A and B are shown apart, each in its own frame.
With several copies, the nearest count.
Chain A
């Protein structure tokens, strides 16, 4: 990280997206993370995603917990409201925010300690309610900010920088999300922007709980030999089941694909996902099969990445509880307060 503030002056030539924002409009404060931290690459991928999806920054609410990963929302989308909750409790805060205004786009950023240890319960319940959000776990297998203790996603037998071996069974957030009914589940790698960005685009256009586990190595405490969350390990054991081309309703389709190799998924908003299957057997619409596949590969020490499951016609929490389409935070006093005559009638019921 460098201490010289970037000049805020914007080069007139900077390319604008369809809503008139430049790439820089999606940036945030200068990162205070370690040079080379995987989390910074994820922030970069998010910036690219929002710019290309042409989402106005103020239409996004970014929430996080506590940890190096949870600090990142300060480092992108400087023109969006942000909320650093307490450790492991972002999902509840995000749920409440979402209830208050269904019209914004909700991004939850968390870490593996934040999500799988102290926050496991909130993560699970937020997902099973179908809160409309993109939930990213920046997964490095350790507690970065507290200096490298194992987190609950560390694999059994993986080695800590200090040399200790992890003896607890790992929590695979992706399998857990599948078990809990998440309607969009993916895994990616901070080192693979090509895979990550389209997945993010697909997630932000999904209506429901989208959970993305992004392996994001901690160069400071968990990038050594023996760690299953190091850059090298993930590169060597990355088993990508598919690749996405994301096509918004606006774009006309240019690429053409060899027949049979590609599956087309159309989402609520008309956006289209072209899924080129790397593993022809893999079906991202079969929850049970997906879980079995993950369990098998995990045994083999493979890191399965890609779009693992999608339910394009998912319904979110608001649909379940039939909330008004006008965001609750926009309802006026007259919509909310029944007034004195109604009260007289109510009093009568209690006589």
Chain B
């Protein structure tokens, strides 16, 4: 963030389709819908936006922010810094003021004159008497007027930034569809703000949104919503979950989509079962029971849930029961920062539970992959007969992202893996639950009830031989444990491979990243390349790491590993599982709970590269 100076010389920022607006509100004050409307209005103008909700772990009365980046170039990560602050929360005035870029703007409620508040000479004040204007709205109660203040500043912004009137009207019409009285009232509020700004603030704001054609048919959706939908498409029928921020909306999305897509039109019966469990241990237990019994089942949780589910993860790994677990990561450890983002459950998931285990993880970069990988994970879990962790985070999960429309290939078919049928059993196929008959270390299973007298077995977390019989024999135990290692090798060939992008010119520098870091990383590499700094990049999409990952690392002298946690957890995995000399890696860690920014990555990499350059020069 740039240090505010008091130099009155600074010129106000002038920019079109490339700036950041941040709304500072009090939560529970109804600002959310107005702010989202703002973002959608920019989209309607054909200009890409990305928005981030920074909210407290409470229901009403604490500070909350909504950051909207307007980016004609289409950058979807956080940029860092704020050009226009809509300061609606006296509690955070100073902090908000300080965050504004040199020559930026501040919109505030000018009903009461500014007296005690701090100000900055370089920041242009945009005063709108929101309270006063809202009081002019006839037939409204205080609570309504409170809400409408937000709509009034939306109107003012539409004037200041130059939205087409139709855009806002259409959105309001859509939002309050059917409720004409409300539509009128809100349009009136927009008008109030718009008129006031036009009359009193004309020419004061040099940030503009100009009609463009950069949005196309893209959709604006959150990762959790997409993941929930992906589970519907992936054939999940059982969802057992326990509420926890930021994962709750995965189960809620699955519920919403199931009610639309999975209710039998005739019988009105549900082709799904969703249980709010009593806690996370029960949730994962239900998921294992359902998968064991041949249904595709999943749970969605966050860090604390992952901790509580440890014992069951060990059972699932060792007894080879499929399961899909969405981990929408938040700030840890412990209760930590429930409403902030982090990528800090990686090690706990990778080696979950006591004893030796290795777990499969996939890392969606955003809503599209959240949808695709969600569906894919059910195939993976059944093919590999093991839990699959879909590692997302609050940033992907709870923010709306502007992304390509979701796609589904109707030719695609569910792959249930090695499930032996009654026919096969009758056909004389011999069944041994934990025997590696195909050489890929994946054994065959049967679903309870399959056959009257063939193919039953006993599932247990205690030591067993290849025939699922209880055994305390060292060699029976090690046989199974070694096969599990080989099965993990097989997993490498099934999970989504990494995505490599090479810089324009050959380089000894590489950068590895994953998940929600991707949008910021895309922008950072472009910026670096523009500065003539060449970095090849590799986006990890799964654990275990396939050979391309090792090749990429070996192909570079120095590799940045960019993570949103304190302890470089992914790097630890890379070092151990790919047998890499740790000195090869430079970790860039961003873990204050706010999504990583393009600025952070760009400057950190640039700085480090120039340092080594100098060293080389000396």
Contacts and interface: CB of A to CB of B under 8 A. Distances in A.
Interface of A: 1, 3, 25, 32-35, 56-59, 61, 63, 66, 68, 71, 73-74, 78-89, 91-101, 103-104, 117-118, 120-122, 124-125, 129, 143-147, 149-150, 152, 220, 318, 321-325, 328-329, 331, 333, 335-340, 342-344, 346-347, 350-351
A334 to B, nearest CB: 10
B449 A96 contact: no
A145 B91 contact: no
A340 B269 CA distance: 23
For the complex of A and B, list the 3 residue pairs with the smallest distance between their C-beta atoms, beginning with the closest: A96-B289, A92-B285, A100-B295
B190 interface: no
Interface string B39-72: 0000000000000000001111110000000000
Contacts of B315: 85-86
Of A57, A80, A88, A96, chain B has the most CB atoms within 10 Å of the CB of A96
- Looking at A85, A101, A335, A339, which has the most chain B CB atoms within 10 Å of its CB? A85
Contacts of A340: 407-410
B232 A338 contact: yes
B304 interface: yes
B219 interface: yes
B59 A59 contact: no
B261 A338 contact: yes
Contacts of B408: 337, 339-340, 343
Given A84-B462, A96-B238, A100-B237, A152 B278 contact: yes
A146, A325, A328, A338 — most chain B CB neighbours (10 Å): A328
Contacts of B248: 146-147
Interface in B466-492: 470
A150 to B, nearest CB: 7
9 contacts: A84-B458, A86-B311, A92-B289, A95-B286, A100-B237, A122-B278, A146-B248, A323-B273, A328-B295
Contact of B60 (A94, A220, A333): A220
A315 B452 CA distance: 28
Nearest to A164: B255
B297 A100 contact: yes
Contacts of B461: 84-86
Contact of A328 (B244, B267, B271, B406): B271
Interface in B438-481: 446-453, 456-462, 470
A328 B237 contact: yes
Contact of A61 (B269, B275, B281, B448): B448
A96 B287 contact: yes
Interface of B: 28, 57-62, 90-91, 217-221, 229, 232-233, 235, 237-238, 240, 242-245, 248, 257, 261-262, 264, 267-295, 297, 304, 311-312, 315, 334-335, 405-410, 413-414, 446-453, 456-462, 470
B57 A145 contact: yes
A84 B282 contact: no
B335 A86 contact: yes
Contacts of A143: 243
Contact of B285 (A82, A122, A336, A346): A122
B59 A34 contact: yes
A121 B58 contact: no
A84 B59 CA distance: 18
A79 B456 contact: yes
Contacts of B261: 338, 342
Contacts of B410: 339-340
Contact of A347 (B219, B297, B460): B219
A114 to B, nearest CB: 11
A84 B459 contact: yes
Nearest to B43: A351
B409 A58 contact: no
A220 B59 CA distance: 8
Contacts of B284: 92
A85 B217 CA distance: 48
B116 to A, nearest CB: 12
A125 B278 CA distance: 7
B225 to A, nearest CB: 8
Nearest to A113: B243
Contacts of B453: 25, 57-58, 79
A181 to B, nearest CB: 14
Nearest to A347: B405
B139 to A, nearest CB: 24
Contacts of A63: 289
A349 to B, nearest CB: 8
A32 B217 CA distance: 42
Nearest to A322: B270
B39 to A, nearest CB: 13
Consensus secondary structure, chain A interface? mixed
A61 B293 contact: yes
A81 B293 CA distance: 10
Contacts of B62: 1, 32
A147 B272 CA distance: 23
Nearest to A89: B285
Contact of A92 (B237, B273, B286, B293): B286
Contact of A100 (B220, B238, B409, B414): B238
B270 A324 contact: yes
Most buried by B among A84, A146, A339: A84
Identify the interface centre among A25, A58, A124, A339: most chain B CB within 10 Å of its CB: A58
Contacts of B291: 96, 100
A74 B468 CA distance: 11
Contacts of B233: 337-338, 343
A325 B297 contact: no
A56 B460 CA distance: 23
B59 A147 contact: yes
A336 B295 contact: no
Given A35-B60, A146-B245, A340-B407, A96 B278 contact: no
A350 B278 contact: no
Contacts of B459: 81-84
A93 B268 contact: no
Contact of A336 (B262, B278, B297): B262
Given A335-B271, A336-B271, A61 B449 contact: yes
A83 B456 contact: no
Nearest to B294: A329
Contact of B458 (A32, A74, A318): A74
Given A83-B289, A323-B273, A350 B58 contact: no
B371 to A, nearest CB: 9
A78 B458 CA distance: 9
A58 B450 contact: yes
Contacts of B470: 74
Given A89-B281, A99-B275, A100-B294, A79 B288 contact: no
Nearest to A34: B60
Nearest to A121: B278
Contacts of B449: 58-59, 61, 81, 101, 103-104
Given A61-B293, A61-B449, A96 B285 contact: yes
B456 A58 contact: yes
A321 B238 CA distance: 12
A20 to B, nearest CB: 10
Contacts of A338: 232-233, 261
B406 A99 contact: no
A122 B59 contact: no
Nearest to B409: A340
Nearest to B28: A34
Given A85-B315, A99-B297, 6 more contacts: A34-B28, A79-B452, A91-B285, A121-B278, A318-B273, A325-B269
B458 A82 contact: yes
